[in-house]
């Protein structure tokens, strides 16, 4: 039997220390990459809207990440504008919903503060209407009219309140992606 020398033990300990060090560096870089990929941009505006409308901040971040990836100048092919991708007609309706004194134009949707406030207001209205986050997200993306019809159809809903199936593939992918992004935000930034 061969004797293990002090030199061999030191060499093995150095290898173990190097491997642990590489693991720590890799974990740090991965966490940093995730935080860069899932930033806390517009934190002041999101916190204010979250408190005003009682909507989970991680959900708001999930919607913005999914809708525009934090580009306040984003415009969809359908004409939705800004961080939360609000349609101009929806924006006009939201301004009359609470009969506000302020009257904004479509161009104001490029303003992050206004876009986030109205986008979160819409989310709040949908969450209250449907009482279910996934259904509300489907309405945010696919429209209230479509979701109301789906809820009446036993092919898509067993109870008239939740969707067991979403007939629009884009809307189904959207709600899943928002929920995934929300979960990542909770894990990275809100420790839940």
Which residues are known catalytic residues?
67
Contact 141, 76 (CB under 8 A): no
Instruction: Report the candidate in 33, 32, 62 with the shortest Cα–Cα distance to residue 46.
Output: 62
Contact 46, 61 (CB under 8 A): yes
DSSP state letters, 61-130? HHHHHHHTTT-TT-B-TT--BTTTTB-HHHHHHHHHHTT-S----GGGGGSHHHHHHHHHHHHHHHHHHH
Q: What is the C-alpha separation between 105 and 34, in angstroms, rounded?
A: 36
Instruction: Report the candidate in 182, 170, 180 with the shortest Cα–Cα distance to residue 80.
Output: 170
Longest alpha-carbon distance in the chain? 90
Q: What is the C-alpha separation between 129 and 56, in angstroms, rounded?
A: 16
């Amino acid at each position: 039997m061969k004797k293990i020398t002090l030199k061999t033990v030191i060499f093995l300990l150095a290898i173990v220390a190097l491997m642990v060090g590489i693991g720590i560096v890799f974990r740090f870089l991965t966490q940093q990459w995730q935080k860069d990929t899932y930033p806390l941009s517009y934190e002041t505006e999101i916190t204010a809207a979250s408190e005003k409308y009682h909507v989970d901040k991680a959900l708001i971040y999930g919607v913005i990440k999914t809708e525009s990836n934090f580009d306040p100048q984003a415009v969809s092919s359908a004409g939705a504008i800004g961080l939360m991708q609000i349609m101009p007609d929806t924006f006009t309706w939201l301004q009359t919903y609470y009969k506000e004194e302020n009257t904004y134009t479509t161009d104001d949707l490029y303003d992050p503060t206004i876009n986030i406030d109205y986008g979160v207001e819409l989310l709040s209205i949908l969450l209250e209407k449907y009482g279910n986050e996934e259904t509300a997200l489907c309405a945010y993306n696919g429209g209230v009219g479509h979701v109301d019809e789906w809820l009446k159809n036993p092919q898509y809903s067993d109870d008239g309140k939740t969707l067991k199936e979403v007939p629009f593939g884009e809307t189904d992918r959207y709600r899943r992606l928002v929920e995934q992004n929300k979960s990542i935000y909770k894990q990275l930034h809100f420790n839940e």
